[in-house]
Structures are given as C-alpha cells and as structure tokens.
Amino acid sequence: MAMTKDDLKKLAAAKAAEQVRSGMALGLGTGSTAKHFINMVGEKYKSGELTDLVAIATSVRSVELARSWGIPLVSFDTHPVLDLAVDGADEIDPQLNLIKGRGAAMLWEKVVATAAKRFIIISDDSKNVTILGSLAPVPVEVIPFAADAVRPYLEGLGCEAILRQNDHGEAVRTDENNVIFDCRFDSIDDPQRLDQLIKQRTGVVEHGLFIDMATSAIIAGNGEITVVSRETE
C-alpha cells in the first residue's frame, strides 16, 4: 500500500530523532512534521532512552507539546546556543534554501534555527522544488500598525500580498501578535536579494525565506529517505 504524506513525515521525523543525543539542547519546530519529531523525542525521553535534554520551542503549541512529554523548556538566557534544531518546511530547493511559515511560526523558527549549531529540515518529498516560490507563498510578518503601509511595498516587489485570515475572516495573529501577508511570487530567481528587500522595510519583523540556514534535509518519499547535507562531519 502506498505511504501517505503523513507516513512519510513520520519516517523523516524518526530519522532526525536518531540524531538526538542525551544532554543536548534542542530547538523544536512547528507544524505536523515537527510534531511527529517532538512526539518521538518525547517518547524516548519518557522511557529514559534519552536523558538530560532541554529545549526551546518555536511556537506556543510546540511549547505545550514538549511540556506534555515533560521535556524541560529553557530560554536563551541560559542556552544562547542550541546543539540541534529540527523543523519542517513548505518548500526546499536544491541548495537547501527554504520557504517556511505556513504555520505562522517563522519568526521564532528563524530565531531558534539561527541559534542552533545544526539545523535539520524534515519533510515529505512534496516540498521539493527547483525554484522557490513554485508552490508556496512567502509569509511576511508585519507589525499591525504598519500593515497597510507595508502591503504596497511588498506588492512592488512583484507579488500579490494577501493578509492571512482565519475561518472567521479575522487577521491571523502570530505568537508575537503580529499579522502575516502571504506573498505569492511566480518564482523567486534571486532569493538572497528578495530576503534583503523584504527585511529592509521598516514594519516587517521577519519573513519565511530561510536562506543558507539548513545544514541538512531529511526528505522521505516512496518509502525511501534522502538526506541532503551541507554538514562537513
């Protein structure tokens, strides 16, 4: 029987969970794939197979999930550097550049990824793209005060910027109480340049382009796992 997307996400998460060692300070991602990873690490922690873990999570929901397993949550004051962060993605290009943020957590996700010595992406193979922007919009987190001023700036970069709303038609708020524009570009030929152009606008807090950040990606498809790595070890 063909594996479902969720089966593939579990396979990738399990492979990443093998990388976790006792004593590590972990960064825990957000989304359905990261949730599998947290549950797998949580089970190993609960059984005593992994000990002395601490973690920083990238969203309130991942905080709650980690807490439900009893994984000790810390903050950057005691752990400014993390050993390993593991998270999902919405798009992955061949250079391991990413679009993230479908789950509205890209700000904390980028903070955690930046603080980590290793940043592993886990995914099913539906997220593979040749050029970023092919499947997913780039989410841009903006302070509410600046939203209407920032939108035309973003559209001037060549996208349609759509305010993310919930099922009740209300603007989605992030864990930092900001709003999100989902910016659909036809394709992103120069992700590094777009990264700078979006980031330089006052009122933008962060965006979902993760350039040169992932150290490796574990991608599951057709029952097979592919590991793409920029790690030297």
Residue 38 as a binder of ligand 5RP (CB under 6 A): the answer is: no
Interface region with ligand 5RP, contact rule CB under 6 A, candidates 96-104, 150-158, 177-185, 187-195: 96-104
What distance in Å separates the CA atoms of residue 142 and residue 202, rounded to the nearest whole number? 9
Q: How far is the CB of 232 from ligand 5RP (least distance, A)?
A: 25
Percent helix, strand and coil across the chain, each rounded to 5?
30, 25, 40
206 is catalytic: no
Site size for ligand 5RP, by CB under 6 A? 18
Q: Is 80 exposed, middle or buried (0-12, 13-18, 19+ CB in 10 A)?
A: exposed
Q: What is the dihedral of CA 121, 122, 126, 129, to 10 degrees?
A: 10
**What is the DSSP pairing of strand 91-92 with strand 224-229?**
unpaired
Give me the residues paired with residue 209 across strands: 99
Residue list 108-167, contact with ligand 5RP (CB under 6 A): 109
Q: How far is the CB of 23 from ligand 5RP (least distance, A)?
A: 26
Site string for ligand 5RP, 56-75 (x = CB under 6 A): --------------------
What distance in Å separates the CA atoms of residue 45 and residue 83, rounded to the nearest whole number? 17
Interface region with ligand 5RP, contact rule CB under 6 A, candidates 71-79, 102-110, 212-220, 222-230: 102-110
CA nearest neighbour of 9 among 221, 169, 214: 221
- Single residue of 88, 133, 137, 191 touching ligand 5RP by CB under 6 A: 88
- Residue 54 or residue 208: which is nearer to ligand 5RP going by CB? 208
**Which residues of the shown chain bind ligand 5RP in the complex (CB under 6 A)?**
29-34, 87-90, 100-106, 109
Catalytic residue numbers, as ranges: 109
